[in-house]
Structure 1
Amino acid sequence: MTLDPLSWELLALIAAALAIDLALGDPSWLPHPVVGIGRIIAWLERGWNHGPAEARRRRGVWLAVVVPLGTWALAWGLLTALAWVSPGLAIAAELALLATTFATRGLAEAARAVAEPLHRGDLSAARRALGRIVGRDTEALDESGLARGAVETVAENTVDGITAPLCWALLGGAPLALAYKAVNTLDSMVGYRSPRFEDFGRASARLDDAVNWLPARLTVWAMWIAARLVVGGRTKGALAATRREAPRHPSPNAGWPEAMVAHLLGVRLGGLNHYGGRPSHRATLGRALEPLVVAHIERAIRHMHGGWLGVLALMVPLVLLREWLI
């Protein structure tokens, strides 16, 4: 670690990393740390996910400890070694690593890849684009269903793709932000319920819930504040409604940004989805003050930007408090 946590220098570095992500995204020709983390998880899963349920649960706990801790240690060791060579080189490396933990541009591009063919009336292309970012069946979705899928994706992934790594970065720089991404990758690979991962992935799923708990709720406040001041939206009653409706979501965290975005847009999210042809009913969030259309995708992207900018602004008082205390 080259910079102190909760410091102006680290906050400036995080802001610069966000700017880099906004400008460049994740070029396919650059190696990405999450890809390497995913390969390690897959290798450990093949070696550890076997035997009785109790043994798989125990190894799953080890997986949830070893991968994030190992990721943190590798990043910290790299930055420490580079700092011995040149402090400037270490800061440049930390900036590059931090930029990989954010998905601001990538999330917006993925949503717009659904919106653009919808604007042309090309439902087939929009369904293919949505199918690349969601697990639900998309073959029979109309414009409203496609818009809902894109809006829900933007709302939910604002937390794990932007604001949560932002929060953890301010507390521990690139090493802690990358450790968070390791937890997030664990959850996406082994943390869902299925016969294969029910026992082995339980600890990873619980850890992901824990590390996203506070960022999800901070994001809701940040979105609401940004909507009041800059972005626009139906803010009246949105906070109270979000607190009331978010627990309906099966995830303890995803329902918070989804409910807030639904109320700010004046639409209803959730409802019926199909997975592998099987229906799945999810509690509805928000009020259908207007029908979901393609224009809501771009509005959701604006609330995404309001969310991370708001979280960044909310961190300024924390840095001021640290400066005052020391």
Structure 2
Amino acid sequence: MREIILYHMLGFFAGFVLDLVLGDPYWLPHPVRAIGNLIAKLEAVLLKKKDGADRTQDEERKAGRILVITVLTLTGGISFLMLWMAYTLHPVLGIVIESIMSYQILATKCLKQESMKVYARLKEQDLPGARKAVSMIVGRDTNALDETGVAKAAIETVAENLSDGVIAPMLYLAAFGPVLGLLYKAVNTMDSMVGYKNEKYLHFGQAAAKLDDGVNYIPARISAVLMIASAFLAGKDFDEKRALMIYRRDRYEHASPNSAQTEAALAGALGIRIAGDASYFGEIVKKPYIGDEVRAVEYEDIVRANKLLYLSAALCECICLLIMSGIYFFLL
């Protein structure tokens, strides 16, 4: 048992370092892209019209449950088999494979890089380029956004994806290894692809959306606490007391029970107001604001958000390693 914990700690730490160093090169095959391709193919089959007629709402909900079960079964089965075979052949090979899998589950550097592309375009006063860059990381319509709107969209994405792309997968990875980490990523990917409350996905994506809310409930709140702690460590540009105050007040100002948790903490730490109405697929969606407008949003806030992103990720990694080390020495 102690050997297993030691191997897991090594793979967990190596995966975190690899993510910070390498990010997500486009040329490198990635399991999340494979999961996305699987979801797209299953969706085409499961939503195919029967004898030319649309499926009923009950049939769509059933098809959505089949999608979830199929994707999770294949993801969990394949990842477990890969890891088991690697450790069976040799522990060193097992650690290497676990490190690579752990690395590909995390998205710290990728999130920073993509948001900093938006920052670079805004700094160059290239609004069309900034709109295009932010369109790659948000689901809303970006063609009509002004500079402030683009900056806000990037900041909100960093805040929300701190939990979805970094802290939540890290927690599942630390607790149960790459298999559960990849299962989490599968749930998250399904929600991002079919979890919309529009005509096409309202019923089909219901199972994926509810499951995503469930698996993110605790990690989202841990992420917010880590962000508030990071604001304390980050220096004079951040206000941890206001972050805590805004978090307590605005953490449920979102249709999702989880998304506003980190958005509220970040808005408070920076002293800005984010969220509000946004356009999706040509329709305006009414949303409450999050935070107080102590000052106007500026594109430098993207850099500040990324500072909190990295500090929160490092704090989480250290805490997870300390807990695993405690278990390891307890078993002496």
What TM-score does the superposition give when structure 1 sets the normalisation length? 0.93
**Residues 214-293 of structure 1 correspond to what in structure 2 (within 5 A)?**
214-231=218-235, 233-293=238-298
Q: 2:86 aligns with which of 70, 73, 82?
A: 82
Shift in Å, 1:123: 1.3
Give the one of 105, 112, 117 matched to 2:116. Answer: 112
Count of aligned pairs: 324
CA contact (8 A) 1:231 1:302 kept: no
User: What are the Cα deviations for residues 123-180 of structure 1, in whole angstroms up to 9, with x where unaligned?
Assistant: 1211111122212222232221111011001111111111111000011111111111
Q: Secondary structure at the match of 2:251?
A: helix
Q: Is the 8 Å Cα contact of residues 103 and 161 (structure 1) preserved in structure 2?
A: yes
8 Å CA contact 2:267–2:273 kept in 1: the answer is: yes
Match runs of 1:9-28 below 5 Å: 9-28=7-26
CA distance in 1, matches of 2:138, 2:2: 37
| Aligned-partner SS, 1:133 | coil
Distance 1:2 1:109 in 2: 37
Determine the structure 2 residue equivalent to 1:171.
Answer: 175
Question: Among residues 289, 305, 308, which one is paired with 1:303 in the alignment?
Answer: 308
Q: Residue type matched to 2:274 in 1?
A: L
Structure 1 residues 304, 201: CA separation in 2 closer, same or farther (over 3 Å shift)?
same
1:37 paired to 2:42: no
* Distance of 1:292 and 1:47 partners within structure 2: 44
Please report how far the alpha carbon of residue 322 of structure 1 lies from its aligned counterpart in structure 2 after TM superposition: 3.5
Q: Structure 2 counterpart of 1:251, which letter?
A: S
1:59, CA displacement in angstroms?
Answer: 2.7
Q: Residues 304 and 310 (structure 1 numbering): CA distance in 2 closer, same or farther, change over 3 Å?
A: same
Going from structure 1 to structure 2, the CA distance change for 1:231 and 1:16 (only over 3 Å counts) comes to: farther
From 152, 173, 195, the equivalent of 2:199 is 195
Counterparts of residues 152-167 of structure 1 (less than 5 Å):
152-167=156-171
Specify the code of the residue in structure 2 equivalent to 1:148: K
| Separation of aligned partners in 1, 2:240 and 2:46 | 48
> 1:95 Cα shift?
0.7
* 1:266 CA drift (Å): 0.5
Find the counterpart in structure 1 of residue 320 from structure 2.
Answer: 315
Equivalent in the alignment of 2:189: 185
SS at match of 1:236: helix
The answer to whether 1:137 aligns with 2:135 is no
Amino acid at match of 1:188: S
Identity of aligned residues (%): 35
1:318 Cα offset (Å): 3.3
Q: What amino acid does structure 2 have at the position aligned with 1:263?
A: G
Equivalent residue letter for 1:299: R
In 2 relative to 1, CA 320–25 (structure 1 residues): closer, same or farther, beyond 3 Å?
A: closer
Q: Kindly indicate whether the alpha-carbon contact (under 8 Å) linking 2:12 and 2:98 is maintained by their aligned counterparts in 1.
A: no
Q: CA RMSD of the aligned region, Å?
A: 2.0
8 Å contact kept, 1:2–1:91? no
* Equivalent of residue 63 in structure 2, options 52, 56, 59: 59
**Match of residue 127 from structure 2:** 123
Name the CA distance, whole Å, in 2 between partners of 1:250 and 1:179.
Answer: 24
Counterpart check, 1:213 vs 2:217: yes
Describe the superposition over 1:260-310 as per-residue Cα deviations: whole angstroms up to 9, x where unpaired.
000000000111222344322211111111100111010000011122122
Q: Is the 8 A contact 1:60 1:199 kept in 2?
A: yes
Q: Is the 8 A contact 2:118 2:154 kept in 1?
A: yes
**Structure 2 unaligned runs (5+)?**
49-54
SS in 1 for 2:240: coil
- The superposition leaves residues 82-136 of structure 1 with CA deviations (integer Å, 9 ceiling, x where unpaired) of 2222221121111111111111111111111111121121112111111222122
CA drift of 1:317 comes to 5.1
Task: Report Cα offsets for 1:198-238 as digits up to 9, x if no partner.
Answer: 11111110111111111111111111112213455111142
- 2:52 corresponds in structure 1 to none
Cα drift, residue 181 of structure 1 = 0.6
Cα 1:237–1:121, aligned 2, differ >3 Å: closer, same or farther? closer
